[in-house]
Amino acid sequence: MGVRSIFDVPDVRAEFEKAGINTHFIPFIWKYVIKNPNCEWDEIPDLPSAAYSLLRSKFKTFTSSVDSVINSNDGVTTKLLVKLQNGAFVEAVIMRYDTRLGKYGGKPRPGGPRSTLCISSQVGCKMGCKFCATGSMGFKNNLSSGEIVEQLVHASCLSQIRNVVFMGMGEPLNNYSAVVEAVRAMSGVPFQLSPKRITVSTVGIIHAINKLHKDLPGLNLAVSLHAPVQDVRCQIMPAARAFPLVKLMDALQVYQKNSKQKIFIEYIMLDGVNDEEHHAHQLGKLLETFDVVVNLIPFNPIGSLSQFRTSSEEKVLTFQKILRGVNNIRTTVRKQMGQDISGACGQLVVNSLDEKPKNSGVTDIEDLVSRR
């Protein structure tokens, strides 16, 4: 595996405990490294002497590096290409919003500028969703908890991050332990992100959903549903065969009962596949007993890989109107951001472990949590 990241939570904690060093020094070390990313271990003040030799022999301040930074023309989206220790690349995307835009309940919205970071949890993905370029590259490897946290550290050098969404490369719940450790690190000192400001998205890994609330209470769960019936879901999401819709909805009922939290439903709009009026009625029926927010996502073509077309704006709005009007389900349409830097949903693909992404991007995720 090579030298480990200081942000690899379980490894750092285990090594400190093994050496008899108090683990309360770990957040202090993180804070110093975040503020001084080019520091040497000896520059960190007030550590026990044993800590310095341990850090020098076992850990690096960073095992990843920012290879490039690309800003959208409108300045609201920034894409980071991050090179990992094994030579692979992942991307993270910063999306900037102003909560004061528009009105809420007829009154100006409170708040102000904020940034959401979309993070990757794997290189590639096993799920093989046909509308997503990441799935076309297959699965390469899991990220360590440190490599996940380092994306937040890199992004924090460019913008103050208020929300994190695990909606970049990979299926987060297929890298369960590392994601759980990373979220725990992000919600602790020195990052101190509230779990309510962290969202994990999944295609529906049932056994992981069953333990998620216990391991990460307060976390937001988003489910990539994308179809209201099993056969359509299997057509566009081959992994859905392993997670039947009936069993998935049963697991979500239990999750919601235990967590008492909204569940966010992601639904990509594919012309003639899942965007007809009867699909909207089926989806409304499927979700009628849940407390959910549905996020309709305009499909972004992925070049020669794409076999789908984008739904018309009229279809998207009709779909939204049915869910809102007939089923009284809060339904939003995802705002597209960063298209000029290929930062749109489903377009991220890395062609090999040592090759940078070509015409790639990461999901332009709305900060759904703060739009409740």
Please give the angle made by the CA atoms of 101, 104 and 106, to the nearest 5 degrees. 110
- Rounded to whole angstroms, the Cα distance separating 43 from 52 reads 10
Tally DSSP H helices, then E strands, for the chain: 11, 16
- Tokens representing 85? 């220790």
Rg (CA), the chain: 21
Closest CA to 142 of 181, 191, 194: 181
Beta bridge partners of 60: 5
C-alpha to C-alpha distance for 338 and 335, rounded to whole angstroms:
10
Let me know: does 224 contact 235? Beta carbons within 8 Å.
Answer: no
Q: How far apart are CA 169 and CA 105, in angstroms?
A: 36
Of 118, 171, 345, 366, which one is the catalytic site residue?
345
Is 91 part of the annotated catalytic residue set? yes
Active site residue 345: yes
Helix (H, G, I), strand (E, B) or coil at 266: strand
Neighbouring C-beta atoms of residue 360, cutoff 10 Å = 22
Catalytic residue (one of 91, 171, 266, 366):
91
Q: Put residue 124 in one of left, alpha, beta given phi > 0 → left and psi -120 to 50 → alpha.
A: left
CA atoms within 13 A on the CB side of 358: 8
Helix (H, G, I), strand (E, B) or coil at 108: strand
Positions marked active-site: 91, 345
